[in-house]
Structure formats: structure tokens, C-alpha cells
Structure 1
Amino acid sequence: MPGHLRVACVQMNPLHNQVERNCEHALNMLKKKEHQLKGVHLLVLPEMIMTGYHWRDADHIQPVLEAAQGQTHKWCKSVAKMLSCVVCCGVPRRKGRKRLNSMIVTSPRGKVVEAVDKVHLYESDKTWAEPGDGFKSVETVEGLPVSPVGFGICMDINPADFKAPAEKFEFANFHLQHNSKLLVFTSAWCKNHPDDKPEAFAEKSDAELSQETIDAWLNRLRPLHGKRVIFVCANRVGKEELRLLGRDTDLCNQFCGTSCVISLEDQTVVKHLSASEEGILIADIPVPCG
């Protein structure tokens, strides 16, 4: 479709520490929608989607940390070639001696062309990961009809350590300065902070949780409101035990789903999925320019 960007987001509930099963499940989800995915430019998957998100320490996560030939990397390369599109997927990554919460960007030719590292670590990351060197926006990504392209991973959108002044908007202002027209966001956005009191873990309806999640993202992107920028987010669903973080509790953290495409020019939600169900969002949007 000339002048349009076709995007797809996978919203999935992975099984913790079952990379092979999760890769197979994600592929099956795509195959069921293969006809609708024809002509897609960009496929986005959530943060650490093939491994699960909560890990108690570096030793715990070590078996699923990936280098360039890891299972998630191979999956992305294969799917990028299968769909002839750019694939962006979250993965815990090993780079030399560093352990990083990353997003890999794979071209339609099946080559990893970018590795984006999470800069603002969340409590669940700090048990094992080191922060990346800085936010990333790239002038062009092979296969995408829009540029520049900015990237972010979950907590990156928030103030650093929740201590930086909220009005600094570090992430949004970075992409404003770099003129990013497309923001690719991979996430494992949680309903609760791991240290919340038990009563804060009360259930909420899908509609309520989705609205709170979208409101939170839009609030953190305020410097980009009125700009011709498209925000594309893949966020996971399901629950994980806080015990996986080493916490002595029976509580589980719920992930907020609501994978979405939002036009920041007028803050219109073009399309979004529910807060709890697996699915694939597919949307055609005009290419932002000017």
C-alpha cells in the first residue's frame, strides 16, 4: 500500500524459561494469520518474550542469555525472511562480559542490523542486567518506508529510577531532538511494582487496565504530542510469580497487554489489543512525513 506502513504486533503469554516452546508458539500464531500478514513492513514482539521476564540473579538467567547465534536470534532471522519484513524482538543478550536487556532488529534479508539496549532498568532488570549506553534512533532501517526510526524498551519511557524529575521526559525528548517519526516499543509492562503492598495487586477489568496503560504511555510521550510520530508497542500478557525474582511471596505480577498503534499527532489510538488475551494486531497507517 503506497504511502502506508503496515505493522503487526504479537501479544503473547510465554512460559517462563521455555524458549523453544515459546518460539514455536509465536511461529504458530503467525502462521494462523499468514494471509493477513501479507505485505507487512514491521513485526514487533514484546520484551524478553521467548524467555520470560522475572529472574532472581545473573546465575538464574545465564542459561537463556543469547549471543548472535541464540535461539531467539535464529527465530527472528527466519521469520524476517519468511514474511519479508523487519522483525523487532526483545531478548536478554550477552555482549562480551555484559548482560543486557535488548531488542534486536532484523532486516527482511534475515540479518540483525541493530541491537538496542534498555537504558532505564526496572527493579526486575536490576537483579541481572546492566544499563545500555543510551537511547537509539537510526536514520534508516532497511525495509521500513519511514525514517528516522526510534526504539525503546519498557522502563525507558519512564524517569530514570523513578527519581529523575518527571518533566525531564528523557525518552520523549531524545526522540524529539532526533526527529524520530516511528517509535518501536517492546515491553513487559507490569500492573504492579514488585515492592507494592499485597492489596495493590487487586484485579482490574481488561478495559480499566488497558485505559490506564495507554494513559501512562501517552503521558510519558507528551513532548511528542502534536508531532507526526507513530508509536508502535508490543506488550506481553499473562502472569509471573514474584518468587522468580527471589521474593518470599505467593503474589504474581500481571502484565498489561494493550499492544497498540498510536498517532501522537492527535493522540489517536489507531488500534489496540486487550489487556489479557493473546493475539496479533495488524494495522495500516499513513507514513508520517514533514
Structure 2
Amino acid sequence: MHYKCHVTVGYPEITVTEPKTQYNSTVTVSPAGVILNNYRKSFLYYTDETWSSEGPERFFSGQLGALGQVTLGICMDINPYKFVAPWEDYEFANTALSNDSPLVCVSMAWLCHLTPEELMLDPSKADIATVAYWVERFQPLVEKAKETPVYVILANRCGMEKTVCYAGSTTVLKIEAGGVSLYETLGKSEEKCLVVDLNERPKFQVRAR
């Protein structure tokens, strides 16, 4: 059965050539099973720095098979570099903007500040503070929005690993001249496949221009 799916999967990469190097990476595969891109995380979180090197290229923005122009990132990439770069640099968002990408995909293992008890309370409810922060990190796309929309997919890990709590709240956004809309958001502890039809009208207006 052929589902016409492009799949992006995160994994820890170890290069096969010397000197061997480790990266926090994603690989994107076409519906035909062809590897279209292997992206290596540019901006490392402090836990990444214990085992991973920075990717040699800052983010990926280019043609990705039948998807067309796409900008790819991993989690910390949307933040200021090492949290020391100016907040208003918006390095990742400006990369998507300068490359005129209509599709932005970010694979995430984003933490939250909730306790384990809070995380499990009403698990189908999104962590709104996290979603609001993500929207803010795409401010350049909002300010320069055109009639042609930009779709932003933020796919986040949910649940717990030992004492670490993940924010879940996987989200699909639409940014256009009218503002920022939200198609749907999963709950903070809701583990499921989020399916969105981009041809439909988003459910919620997040921010009007």
C-alpha cells in the first residue's frame, strides 16, 4: 500500500569516516524510500554538547523532493544561539524567511517546567505557554507575512524519561498576512499521530496582524 508519505526521523548519527563525529540529526525519506536530506542540528542544547558536534551547515533550507522548498530544524535551533545571541536575531526564522520557504518543519524534544503531576493532569490539554513561546520565535515570518501562507510544523516529544518532563503539544501553524492561525495542537501528554489537512481552514486564530 502506498501512502505518499515523506517521513522525517530523528536519530544520533555517527559518521563512518575518520575522524568519526557524532551529530544530533534527522533524516528525511521520500515516499519511494529515497533519502532526500540528512540534517545535523546547528544550535546545541547543553545536553547535546556532552556528546554531539554542531552541524557544519547552519540549518537546512532547500528543495526537498516533491515537498518543494522546505526549512528543517531540530528543537534548540529555533532559540538564540547558545542563549547568548540577541533574542531578536531570530536566526532560524530568518533563514526560513530569506529562503522563502512555504514549509518549515522542526523535530523537537522540548522540555517543560511542569511537575510530573501537572503533566498528567488533563493530558489532552496543550502546554499553552510552550506553544506561545514557539509562535514568538517565528516573529520575523509574522512581521513579513504575505498572502501566500507559511506552514510551520512543530513535532514534539511527550511524556517523561526518568525525571525529565517533555512539553508535548505538537502543533501545526499557518502564518499569512492575516496573522497566525493554529490548525490543531496535541495535548501535553497526548501520544498520537496528528493529521492535518492544510487545505482546510485553521481552527484557531492565534495572533491577528
> Normalization by structure 1: what TM-score?
0.60
**More helix as a share of residues:** 1
Corresponding residue number in structure 2 for 1:259? 170
Check whether the contact 2:124–2:189 (CA below 8 A) recurs between aligned residues: no
Match of 1:222 among 139, 149, 152: 139
Matches of 1:131 and 1:253 in 2, distance apart?
A: 23
Corresponding residue number in structure 1 for 2:60? 136
Amino acid of the residue matched to residue 171 of structure 1? Answer: F
Amino acid of the residue matched to residue 175 of structure 1? Answer: A
Matches of 2:196 and 2:69 in 1, distance apart?
A: 20
Deviation at 1:112, TM superposition (A): 1.0
Check whether the contact 2:174–2:182 (CA below 8 A) recurs between aligned residues: yes
Give the count of matched residue pairs: 187
What SS class does the counterpart of residue 101 from structure 1 fall into?
Answer: strand
Corresponding residue number in structure 1 for 2:42? 119
Corresponding residue number in structure 2 for 1:285? 198
> Normalization by structure 2: what TM-score?
0.83
Q: CA RMSD in A?
A: 2.0
Percent of residue pairs bearing the same amino acid type: 34
Corresponding residue number in structure 1 for 2:3? 83
What SS class does the counterpart of residue 185 from structure 1 fall into?
Answer: strand
Matches of 1:216 and 1:116 in 2, distance apart?
A: 24
Corresponding residue number in structure 2 for 1:177? 98
User: Where in structure 1 are there 5+ consecutive unaligned residues?
Assistant: 1-80, 193-199, 242-251
Deviation at 1:84, TM superposition (A): 2.7
Matches of 1:159 and 1:202 in 2, distance apart?
A: 28
What SS class does the counterpart of residue 196 from structure 2 fall into?
Answer: strand
Corresponding residue number in structure 2 for 1:93? 13
Check whether the contact 2:13–2:23 (CA below 8 A) recurs between aligned residues: yes
Amino acid of the residue matched to residue 132 of structure 2? Answer: D
Amino acid of the residue matched to residue 59 of structure 2? Answer: F
Matches of 1:84 and 1:202 in 2, distance apart?
A: 38
Check whether the contact 2:126–2:185 (CA below 8 A) recurs between aligned residues: no
Matches of 1:89 and 1:184 in 2, distance apart?
A: 11
User: Where in structure 2 are there 5+ consecutive unaligned residues?
Assistant: 201-209
Deviation at 1:202, TM superposition (A): 7.0
What SS class does the counterpart of residue 94 from structure 2 fall into?
Answer: helix
Deviates more, 1:262-271 or 1:154-163: 262-271
Deviation at 1:203, TM superposition (A): 4.7
Matches of 2:43 and 2:115 in 1, distance apart?
A: 24
Corresponding residue number in structure 2 for 1:274? 187
Check whether the contact 1:120–1:131 (CA below 8 A) recurs between aligned residues: yes
Amino acid of the residue matched to residue 261 of structure 1? Answer: V
Deviates more, 1:87-96 or 1:148-157: 87-96
